[in-house]
Structure 1
Amino acid sequence: MMVNLLYLEGPDKKSHYCWIKNISRLVGSQLTKHDGAIHICDGCLVFFREESGLQKHISQGDCQKICTILPEPGNNFLQFKDFHLSFKMPFTIYSDFETILNPIHGCTSNPTEKYTINTHIHKAHSFAYFIKCSYNDSLSIFRSYRGKDCTNVYMKWLIEDVRRIYKDHFSNYKSMKPLTVEEQKET
Structure 2
Amino acid sequence: MAKFQKGESKQLDASFKTENKRVLRVDNTVLVVEDSYAKLLKEKSEFQAKGSGWTFSEIVCLELRINKYTPLRGSTYIELPSKIRNTKSVVNVKNNDMYCFTYAVWAKNIDKNPQRVSKYDTRSFHNGYQWDCIEYLVDLKDIIKFEQANNITINVFGLDEKKNNVYPIRIVDHEMEDHCDLLYLTNDETSHYCRIKNFERLVHLQITKNNNGIYICKRCFVYYHDEEKLESHKPNCYNNIPAKIALPTEEDKILKFNKIGHTFRVPYAIYADFESILLNIEGWDPNPADSYSNKFQKHEAYSFCYVMVTSEGFEKPVLYRSPNAAKIFISKMKGEAEKIAVRYRNIVPMNPFTTAQEESFRMEVNCHICSKPLGDDRVMDHCHLTGKFRGLRT
* TM-score, normalised via structure 1 length: 0.47
TM-score normalised over the length of structure 2: 0.24
Structure having the higher Rg: 2
The answer to which structure, 1 or 2, has the higher relative contact order (CA under 8 A, 6+ apart) is 1
